[in-house]
Structure 1
Amino acid sequence: MLTDTHCHPFDLLKIFPGAEEERRTLGVMCAASASSREEFEFNEAFAAREQNAAKLLPCFALHPQLPALYSRNDSSRRDSIIADGLALLENLAEQGRLAAVGETGFDLYNEQFKATEKIQDEIFAAHAEIALRYDLPLILHARRAMHKIFAVDRVLKKCRAVVFHSWPGTAGEAQALLRRGINVYFSFGTTILLNHKEAMRCCATFPAERLLLETDAPYQPAQGQVYSTWNDLPRILQAAARLRTEAQTPGAESNELEKIVEANFRAVFSV
């Protein structure tokens, strides 16, 4: 079975209504990210409509880019939205409606995001505390922020599972996380189709039992595309298998890799 560790159905279906049929045809089991009540409730309704299809697992967190959407003059509104979002996360976790907390983490890509680093730290700490208290996996976003990840490694070590969405690091950083005893998984998507050398090297050589695949649909489109969709998953799987074959790494044949990645997905999300 094909699995998608990270996607945004709310955004995808707005621009590509055919995605629902596409997922049903491919039989993709996926973890659906949401960062607002509207998105989460949409994903829950989508999952309910698709009861006879592969599972869609709802996830929720406040995206690390969210604080930067508000100017300094609008800080009271920003703080209110953050407080409401964390309260919603707590309620969803308490009601057993969450498959994971995410995506959360750190984004220091530009000066606008760097200016909100302290708020990102506070939001991440709240997310991690809820994930630990309710024994939920944590899905991480880290852009130009791997140093922040290592600063919270003791927290991550306590988590049931940690998933790096669109793994942004190096092979050495991945090995360091594993050496620290973190139950960490590394997800790869269209970056391995776009000639991102480090992502390709990591996907080729990481232990198969730590690999996951994703689309980040509709974001991170492959070359020549306007947006990514679930239809990209077979190509991502084939690219991962090819890279591992070329590197002579175990778990290289496409059908075998698909089964291993599915088992990893099920282990992370307890399905």
Structure 2
Amino acid sequence: MASDAHCHPYDLKKQYPGAETERREAGVSCAASSWNREQFEFHETLAAQAAADGAAPVALCFAVHPQLPRFDEPVCRESLALLHVLAAESRLRAVGETGFDLFDREYRDTEKIQEALFAEHLALAIASGLPLVLHVRKAMHKVFAYSRELKKVPAVVFHSYSGTLREGRDLVKRGVNAYFSFGTPICLNHRQAMEACSALPADRLLTETDCPYQPLRGKPFSRWSDIRTILETAAELRNQREGARITPGELEALTDRNFRTVFGTA
């Protein structure tokens, strides 16, 4: 079974009404990320229906997205309050996506708010025993500053990992139970992501679509079927290393095991 470690089904449905049918037919387990009540309730309904029908599971994730303070601070407070309720009621498989986005000046202007939000998300993940899903752009130095605390989290998933191979290895050496999720950037000649995907330990790899936000070239949005292309590309990258040999099917099984380990899906 294939797995998608980071996606936004609520947003995908707006562009592709048949998305859930495609996911079920493809047998793709997914971790659905949301940051407000409407999104979460939509994902929670999907998860309940999938469980009732014996379909591929939907793991529920919630957090205040690190880009949100740039646009709407009151919504940040509402979402943060909801996060605590969901965690207390054991309705989550992970806290995320949280983290740091310092991609441009507008986002950097909210760095202090992002820092405060991240610290609260991290503390909640530790207290609740939940994995943490990270969104990190131009901010790996911030992650390393929290490496001691991140060691206390059951698992740390780097959504659409954009750090270097060395940074990934260093985090693991520091005792962070890190998993590195790769999506369409490895299919679009993003060299740093390609190198990391080719050589990070196999038991640390995940695949994702970030649907609908990371389309393949020439496509309007990313979707569940893109997982096949991502798996084929990831296997090809790993096979370029001397002595390596893995098929897309073997990589699918391996990343699915990793997915189930992180998100606790049956």
Partner of 1:11: 11
Aligned to 1:157: 151
Matches within 5 A, 1:94-243: 94-243=88-237
In structure 1, the residue corresponding to 2:34 is in which secondary structure? coil
Q: Is the 8 A contact 1:138 1:161 kept in 2?
A: yes
Helix, strand or coil for the counterpart of 2:206? strand
Deviation for aligned residue 1:249: 6.0
Distance in 2 (CA, whole Å) between partners of 1:152 and 1:207 is 22
| Offset of residue 250 of structure 1 | 4.6
* Distance (whole Å) between structure 2 residues aligned to residue 82 and residue 227 of structure 1: 26
Pick closer, same or farther for the CA change 1:251–1:65 going to 2, 3 Å.
farther
**CA offset at residue 86 of structure 1?**
1.5
How far apart are the structure 1 equivalents of 2:43 and 2:247?
33
Partner of 2:20: 20
SS of 1:176's equivalent in the other structure is helix
- Structure 1: 5+ residue stretches without partners: 71-77
Is the 8 Å Cα contact of residues 204 and 249 (structure 1) preserved in structure 2?
no
Aligned pair 1:261/2:255, yes or no? yes
- Aligned letter for 2:232? Q
The reply to whether residue 56 of structure 1 matches residue 58 of structure 2 is yes
Which residue among 71, 89, 92 is the counterpart of 2:86?
92
Q: Displacement of 1:48 after TM fit?
A: 2.1
What SS does structure 1 have at the residue aligned with 2:61?
strand
- C-alpha distance 238-249 of structure 1, shift in aligned 2 (>3 A): farther
User: 1:251 deviation in Å?
Assistant: 6.3
Structure 2 stretches of 5 or more lacking a match? none
**Which deviations, in whole Å up to 9, do the C-alpha atoms of 1:200-243 show, x marking residues without a partner?**
11111111000000000000111011100001001100111111
User: Please, what TM-score do these two structures have when normalized by structure 2?
Assistant: 0.96
Q: C-alpha distance in 1, partners of 2:20/2:245?
A: 30
155 and 14 in structure 1: CA distance in 2 versus 1, 3 angstrom threshold: same
Query: Distance in 2 between the 1:50 and 1:105 partners?
Result: 29
Which moved further from structure 2: 145-154 or 97-106? Answer: 145-154
- SS of equivalent residue, structure 1 residue 50: helix
What's the offset of the Cα at 1:196?
A: 0.7
Partner of 1:81: 75
In the other structure, the counterpart of 2:68 is: 66
Measure, in 2, the Cα distance between the counterparts of 1:56 and 1:124: 24
Identity of aligned residues (%): 52
The 1-side partners of 2:188 and 2:137 are apart by 17
Paired amino acid for 1:154: R
- What residue number does 2:39 align with? 39
Q: In 2, Cα distance between the equivalents of 1:48 and 1:178?
A: 34
